Chains A and B, each alone.
Chain A
Amino acid sequence: MPDDPVIRLPLDPNEEVSADAGKSFEKLRHLILAPEQEGLARLRDRVENPEQRASDLSAVLPEAIRLLRQQGRAEDLAEVLAPTVESALRESVQKDPTTLADALFPVMGPAIRRSILQTLRLLFESFNEAMEQSLSLRGLQWRFEALRTGRPFSEIVLLHSLVFRVEQVFLIHKKTSLPLCHVVAPSVAMQDPSLVSGMLSAIQDFVRDSFQGSQGQVIEKLQVGELEVWVEDGPQAVIAAVIRGMAPPAYRSELVEAVERIHRKFAHQLEKFQGETSPFDSATEDLTPCLESLHREKGSLRPRPYMLVFACVALLLLGGWFAFSARRNHKWRAYAESLGQQPGIVVTSSGRHGGRFVISGLRDPLSADPQALLQSSGLNPTQAEFHWSAYYALDDPILQKRAANLLKPPASVSLGVTDGVLHVQGVAPDDWLASFPARAAMIPGIRDVEMSRLAGASEAEFQRLQGVIRAAVVTFPIGSAEIIPSQSASLKVLLPEITALLQEAESLHESVVINVVGHSDSTGEESTNQLLSKNRADTVTWALVHDGSPRSSLRPRGVASAQPLRPETDEEARQYNRSVTFSIGTTVAPNP
């Protein structure tokens, strides 16, 4: 073992020492210093022997790591160990992928399942949110905005429900203004980082130059509408974050931390930067955490219970209104249809207009009143509006009304129209009757008049009187021409009829002769019977003349049994045949 110069005792070279003394001294020295020397040798061995050192370190390493964690410095260790662990993993995979795969197998299945579940949950959440939005008033507004701007609805929802979202983060080399690294949030349109970084720096220069800012000062925030650019300055590089919405002030500290971290990690590369950006590729992991976003409280977007109730009530009301409206419209249509079937009404159009039901068409003034029909159909007359053009209808019922209006027939005359032909029947006063044919011909729509059953009043009376007189029978006892008292009374009743007949005949300019015909039964001699029957006729004639009838109008004659009133099958018939009857002969009298 070589002597250590440090622990060797200084000896005076000029001192003479005997060999014995030297030996003794050596012994003494050994006695005094040997324990320390051995201890030192053991220590040196521990320091210089790698195996021993490793063994020592292994004894304290776990404790050291535990202490680091207690001191809150675990991240430092992680940062230091990460590259080694990464390269170890890489090497392991390169050597034999199955080792790592086997080790990871138990955790990969659950991890993948969790990832899928998470993705699905997010998908459902965004779907739910979109559904909620589409059903609200605000959702409709956003849908309109999407239509107006031509952007997808999902993007509009995202924009409005976001409090803020960091869309892009640039790491820019300060001196050259070149982009070192750039991260962008999903589904955000990306600009060229080189151009944006350059222009951002140019604007910084422009503002500084224009407003005499000093070289160290930077614009910390640019704002355009809802877009902001936050710039965090560092000695060698700046971070620019493009933010949509209102980021909280606390976000600034994240940018500060990121700038500091990057300067710590890439101090050397930033210093020596000559345009090669690949060393900064790993800065992505420092920038990506800055791509934050915060959505509005979900609660405020959920439909509240009262809104649900309101929506249900509104839906019910809407449904009720639709049903009511459909029913009302159906009633109106039915009314318009029935109106069109009315004689004298032609409906050309009908429908709703400005909250009212409007019906247009042609209408004969004599047709039924649409308003009256409306009331009977249970509809609100104030909601109806009619536009009629007048015309002459040719429907039979209307023609009949028109004829009645124009002719004004007496109650004894009835009118009817069939296929345009006016049928008139009854007894009319002579003056009405006199003007009737001319007036009937003037009625619009009447093409013919049938009046065979229409008679004048005088004529009718004349006919009636004739009937009465013709029906009268004056009977006589057998073989006698004397008027018995009962028959005399009948004759007296007949007298005014005869007088009236003669008067009517006169007014009708007719000459009337009343034949007084005497009859006998068939018993006895016919010549006797002839005489008897003639006597009977004379008796009656004279009785009438006696009571006031003009003789000139009475023509008595006997026909014996030649014109029996009844076949003489029994005594009663024979008795009936012993009588006087009347027949009437008329000739048109010459005008006086």
Chain B
Amino acid sequence: MIDAAVDRAGPVLAVLPESQVLVAETARDWAGGRPGEAGWMPSDADAPAVVFPASVEEVAALIRVANETGARLLPAGLGSWLGAGGWTRAGEVIVSCMRLNAVQHYEPADLTLTADAGLGLTEVEDLLLPNGQWLAVDAPGAGAGTLGGMVACGVSGALQGRYGAIRDNVLGVDVVTGAGRVLRIGGRVVKNVAGYDLVRLFTGSRGSLGIITSVSVRLFPRPEADVTLCYVGGAGEIVALARNVCTSPLPIAAVELEGGRESGETVCRVRLLGSGGEVEEVRSRLVDAAGLKPRQILRADESAALHGDRAAWEEGSALVVRLAALPDRLADTFDRGLALAGALGGEVAADALGGVVRVKASPDAARDEDVAGELSRAREVVEAVGGTMTLSQARGEVAARAGWTGRRGSGTALGDRIKKLFDPASILAARCP
């Protein structure tokens, strides 16, 4: 099986000069052996190679040859989150876009950036900082990855209520589809309704429709003030406090929770971003209104640094689960998360404004069957109230039993047809979970 896949991969590897190809152990190291990230790679995945195209033409050539030979390609950035939803098929060739990393267009006064998909988000941040701008996206863990990976994953963090989700901030993408077409869709202006919005389709498509080679995004001015109020207490009172903050008319940037920790305490962090006067006013009103006093108030760099640290919350976890329901169900969803974390030996984090609860854990591989059972039961409960539960990261065995996503809605048939349209021979990652 694996040998056959490797055979099929052969011609794909021949497309690029040797210096742009890693095979065998070196390929394995690249994908799975990154510091702090060991154990993320599903055990049943076995990539024969990683290739590093350096131009759109090279990407297109790889796809053309894969279509001819039936080899399978897995689009990638830095490979920082590869397991999610896709990489369970043996013998895939990883196509890393990290050598496509040029800044194509950055005009600060336009508040837009166009760059190659493989540009790292840390480089993006360094580029924007001197101009007092930022990409207002706090996707979990995205700082470690690339612009293209962020768009392909399309998962948004707690700031989405204030700044929009990733999909609201992507203005255009260039892609090479699984069928080998090079498409330039959208543009680099902030308002654009010319034709159907295919940009939305590729955002969050997780490498299943095409390889993204370039991205245009909308930027924001860095807010003048950044303040975080930290509350600590029992789960019940902290979740109630979080809901109160969420339903107040005050401009709140994010409300995040953390629980299931050894101390048994639950933490709520309320983040305020905006002009100095506004943030101070909101801070003082919150402190006056909430029954509970914040244990700590962080300002400016300290506040930013805290959120920077939290971004890598899942790092090193073999299992990451995302539960979502309407925000007013937060108490239930959070409880469900705590119960799951308890059963799996993990921790919980939540975006209270969005009603999203994440659970991370690293259960022993010997417990796969048991873990999958827990997940299925949790999913049933969440779905019964109209919510969803998806796996963000899991070992292949667990995902195969529990399924990356749950219920397939009535739009599923449309999604299947879209997958077929852009990747008719299924040479790319499996259909978007």
A and B part of one assembly: no
